[in-house]
Amino acid sequence: MRNEAEDLAPIPHSAFRTPHSPPFGYHGQYLRIDVTTGDVRAVPLPEDVLRQYVGGVGLAARLLHRECPPGVDPLAPDNPLAFVFSPLVGTPLTTSAKFAVAAKSPLTGRFNDALSSSHFALSGKKTGSDALVIVGRAAAPSILLIDDGAVRLEPAGHLWGRTTPDATAGLRDRHGPDWSFAVIGPAGERLVRFATISHDNRHAGRGGLGAVLGSKNLKAVGVRGTRRTPVADPAGVVAAARDLSARSFGPAAAKYRELGTVANLLTFNRLNALPTRNFQAGQFEGAEAVSGEALSDAARVARRSCAACTIGCEHIYRVGDRGEGLGDRTEPPATNGLYPNPSPLSPTVRLEYESLFALGPLCGISDRGVILRAARLCDDLGMDTISAGATAAFAMECSERGLLEDTGPPPEETPPPNPLPYEGRGDQTGRPGASPPPPPGGGGRGEGSLPHFGDGDALLSLLGMIGRREGPGDLLADGTRRAAAAIGGGAADFAPHVKGLELPGYEPRALQAMALGFAVGTRGADHNRSGAYEVDFSPDADRRHGDAESARRAVETEDRAALIDSLILCKFLRGVFPDLWAESADLLAKVTGWDVTADELRATARRVIDAKKRFNIREGWTPAEDTLPRRFLGERLPDGSAPGAVLPEDRLRAMIRAYNRARGWTEDGWVGSEETPPPTPSPTRGPVGEPGA
């Protein structure tokens, strides 16, 4: 089974038949591909392991314990990158065409998982495995192709350096429409620590998994297959799928269908919870101009959905021609800024609330056209919009505080001498009380040479430089935690991250259960693995005064997310389940034939979260990293039309202790040793879950 990396011979079909009979919904194995040596092997996944971790994020946690050597450098060849499917993939259940991607994060150094959707999940599972685990580093920029029983590498050729849509189009031209590709953009190639992996215009966005793929010298992973997995109760699955689809057309998912998540912006603004100008305020005076409602009126051109989805939350907007209500900018459409072949940005973009807040209010931008261009630029370059926007906002605040003048040498590299050389044009927001001007003198660069909040040109310029790791973009491409350490001067106090992952669009002082969720998140500040904002928005909680009860309920939201992410279903479906646990057990039973119960799934969710935490402990986690930047613990949120809020550190610590107790961990957050998925010294020893494996 060992082959040359340049042309990996087809694996005989018999190699895919595992000694055990896989359960319904599964292939019962994962494929481990070493792109350095060409070694490809099918590793059995015993049924008890599959039942304990289900799939998606859960199974990914199990696989990383096994495959990831302790202490590995996230950008080293040995760091495994896992694409993980689930038993529901390929069924007619709405929103089930999803996959998880996981690796040790180059941004956080901790467990990182991200979800994406659509045909890559369907085709990937049909290659005959429940997961694809990639290790090693190809000798030259390459495309990894997994075609039913055959695995091979081919040169990336001219696709290296291309944007995500360009590369995808080139691969489709080269291979045909029955292939699905997960690709990186120039940011992933340049190891930007928040680079994404993109597919069908969706992105496994957080934590820099695109850099991990880039570190393996892989521009893309292509999948094609014919191997379906039978389900235990076909008629039952079809009936459940019909019922679920019917419910997805109802009011619980209407928000996503009709306006999309961008509708959050005005809501959060009203609640003084909209992160503004790098979390210096919770309300943005330009909110109406960049609201989802305004965007819909001015620029929405289509609504789409992932494969196998009946909700269709993807709202597509036209990117920035002039005279179309997209602001008052007068220059031609932006380009991707790549050298030597700059080309116009893709003409449309899918926009979510997270991209809107991060590239808009967080940077003080009230020009819709700029935000849409910035979102498109991030997607084309292959960068997480949250981290990219937050990093730009952080740079803007550093600039306005004069800190960029004082940049000292970072621990291991020298920062560029002119941190932010761009042709700024000043504040375009027209807001009253705009940010203070840069310090007099400006280090000889003049006032116009430093970025300010509200400067759209600065934002677009910074994003391009980050994606290319050019000039100051090289430092910023490492994320706010590393940049703050290099800049010094107190920048770490307002670098908006937890464990290195930049905060999403929830002001922690105004949403204090969510603040807890951010602080304890295993992948860092995270709104997808903790839905603690649901606690903040409930009648029996005080969102501006978190307590032990908020913490207990935050645990529940994490458990639900762990279940949904392991099944995998879309979280936008969650509102249609009156009882998520019981209905999930019923769905899983119909697919797998297991006599699974709601209680078993609760235990599964806990097991998944424990496994992620144990991975982090193995990689050096200490209780000190479960916290928030000093800004949130020391500064009162300014009043807007809603009262400001404060989150004292002792209150956060009390919530963290309550959270840890509710999880059954020590008060400091250490996890007991029972049921620990053991780290595996040798990844090729035997089936996952074998004693000693």
Partner 1 sequence: MPRVRVEFYGLARLRAGAAGAAVEAATVRDALRAACPGLAVVRDGRVAPEYLLSVGGGRFTADPDEPLADGDSLLVLGADAGG
Partner interacting with residue 306 (select from ligand SF4, partner 1, none; CB below 5-8 Å by kind): ligand SF4
Which of partner 1, ligand SF4, none does residue 570 bind (CB under 5 to 8 Å by kind)? ligand SF4
- Binding-site partner at residue 255 among partner 1, ligand SF4, none, CB < 5 to 8 Å by type: partner 1
Cα 159 to Cα 84: distance, rounded to the nearest angstrom: 25
The yes or no reply on residue 67 touching ligand SF4 (CB under 6 A) is no
Give DSSP secondary structure letters for 197-221.
Answer: EEETTEEE-TT-HHHHHHHTTEEEE
Establish if 312 lies at the interface with ligand SF4 (CB under 6 A): yes
Query: In 189-308, at which residue ranges do the beta strands (DSSP E only) sit?
Result: 197-199, 202-204, 218-224, 300-304
The number of residues in the chain equals 693
Binding site for partner 1 (CB under 8 A): 251-252, 254-256, 258-259, 261, 263-264, 266-268, 270-272, 292-293, 352-353, 506, 527, 531, 533-534, 537-539, 541-544, 571-572, 574-575, 641-643
- If the CB atoms of residues 449 and 528 are measured against partner 1, the closer one turns out to be 528
Q: Tell the smallest beta-carbon distance from residue 609 to partner 1 (Å).
A: 19
CB nearer partner 1, residue 532 or residue 587: 532
Select from 307-315, 418-426, 474-482, 497-505 the region that touches ligand SF4 (CB under 6 A).
Answer: 307-315
- Comparison of 269 and 407: residue with beta carbon closer to partner 1: 269
Q: CA distances (Å), 267 to each of 115, 270, 282, in order? A: 26, 5, 11
- Burial string for 353-376 (b: 16+ CB within 10 Å, else e) reads bbbbbbbbbbbbbbbbbbbbbbbb
| Cα–Cα distance, 535 to 24 (Å, whole number) | 37
Task: Confirm or reject binding of residue 313 to ligand SF4 (CB under 6 A).
Answer: yes
- Taking the complex as a whole, how short is the minimal distance between the CB of residue 518 and ligand SF4, in angstroms? 22
Q: Which does 334 bind (CB under 5 to 8 A by kind): ligand SF4, partner 1, none?
A: none
- Min dist CB 446 to partner 1, Å, is 42
Q: 335 has which bridge partners?
A: 344
181 interacts with, out of ligand SF4, partner 1, none, CB within 5 to 8 A per kind: none
Positions 560 through 619 that interact with ligand SF4 (CB under 6 A): 570, 572
**139 vs 254 by CB, closer to partner 1:** 254
d(CA 689, CA 51): 12
Q: Residue 309 interacts with ligand SF4 (CB under 6 A)? A: yes
Nearer residue to partner 1 within complex by CB, 28 or 644: 644
Work out how close the CB of 306 gets to ligand SF4 at its nearest, in angstroms, rounded to a whole number.
Answer: 3
Written as six digits, the tokens of 653 are 């610590």
Cα gap 316→258, rounded to integer Å: 12
CA distance 283 to 274: 6
By C-beta, is 258 or 413 nearer to partner 1?
Answer: 258
**What is the DSSP pairing of strand 98-104 with strand 81-84?**
antiparallel
Q: How many residues bind ligand SF4 (CB under 6 A)?
A: 12
In the complex, minimum distance from the CB of residue 304 to ligand SF4, in angstroms, rounded to a whole number: 7
Answer for which of 11, 195, 281, 311 binds ligand SF4 (CB under 6 A) is 311
Among residues 163, 305, 348, 428, the one that binds ligand SF4 under rule CB under 6 A: 305
106 DSSP 8-state letter: T
Of 194, 197, 193, nearest in space to 213 by CA: 197
CA neighbor of 549 nearest in space, from 637, 453, 658, 470 = 658
252 binds, among ligand SF4, partner 1, none (CB under 5 to 8 A by kind): partner 1
Q: Which of ligand SF4, partner 1, none sits in contact with 443, Cβ below 5 to 8 A by type?
A: none
Helix (H, G, I), strand (E, B) or coil at 84: strand
Judged by CB under 6 A, the stretch of 19-27, 71-79, 301-309, 678-686 that binds ligand SF4 is: 301-309
Tell me the Ramachandran region of residue 341: left when phi exceeds 0, alpha when psi lies from -120 to 50, beta otherwise: beta
**Pairwise CA distance, residues 514 & 487, whole Å:** 29
Binder of residue 117, out of partner 1, ligand SF4, none (CB less than 5 to 8 A by kind): ligand SF4
Selection from ligand SF4, partner 1, none that 409 binds (CB < 5 to 8 A by kind) is none
Q: Which does 543 bind (CB under 5 to 8 A by kind): ligand SF4, partner 1, none?
A: partner 1
The nearer residue to partner 1, 48 or 288, going by C-beta atoms, is 288
Q: Which does 284 bind (CB under 5 to 8 A by kind): ligand SF4, partner 1, none?
A: none
In whole angstroms, how close is the CB of 256 to ligand SF4 at the nearest point?
Answer: 5
Give whichever of 310 and 418 is closer to partner 1, judged by the CB atom: 310
Distance CA 333, CA 119 (A): 31
Nearer to partner 1 by C-beta: 258 or 599?
258
Q: Which of partner 1, ligand SF4, none sits in contact with 402, Cβ below 5 to 8 A by type? A: none
| 279 lies in the site for ligand SF4, by CB under 6 A | no
Q: Does 621 bind ligand SF4 (CB under 6 A)?
A: no
Nearer to ligand SF4, 312 or 439 (CB): 312
Is 109 within 8 Å of 500 (Cβ atoms)? yes
Q: Which letter, b or e, does each residue of 146-157 get, where b requires 16 or more Cβ atoms within 10 Å of its Cβ? A: bbbbebbbeebe
User: Cβ of residue 203: shortest distance to ligand SF4, in angstroms?
Assistant: 11
Interaction partner, residue 585 (partner 1, ligand SF4, none; CB < 5-8 Å by kind) = none
Which residues, 71 to 110, sit near ligand SF4 by CB under 6 A? 95
C-alpha separations of 662 from 21, 122, 365, 550, 559 in Å: 38, 37, 41, 11, 12
How far is C-alpha 90 from the chain's CA centre? 23
The yes or no reply on residue 122 touching ligand SF4 (CB under 6 A) is: no
Two structure tokens written together for 257 = 């269908």
- For ligand SF4, the closer of residues 314 and 384 by Cβ is 314
Q: Which residues pair with 82 in a beta bridge?
A: 102, 133
Q: 136 with 91: CB under 8 angstroms?
A: no
Q: H or E stretch including 498?
A: strand 497-498
- Nearest alpha carbon to residue 124 among 52, 260, 5, 227: 227
1-19 b/e (C-beta count within 10 Å ≥ 16 → b): eebebeebeebeeebbebe
Q: Which CB atom, from 117 or from 336, has the smaller least distance to ligand SF4?
A: 117
Shortest distance, CB of residue 185 to ligand SF4, whole angstroms?
21
When CB distances are held under 5 to 8 angstroms depending on the partner's kind, the choice from partner 1, ligand SF4, none that residue 633 binds is: none
User: Closest Cα partner for 349 from 295, 403, 388, 272?
Assistant: 295
- C-alpha span between 557 and 539 (Å, rounded): 16
Site for ligand SF4 in 232-271 (CB under 6 A): 256
Binding site for ligand SF4 (CB under 6 A): 95, 117, 256, 305-306, 309, 311-314, 570, 572
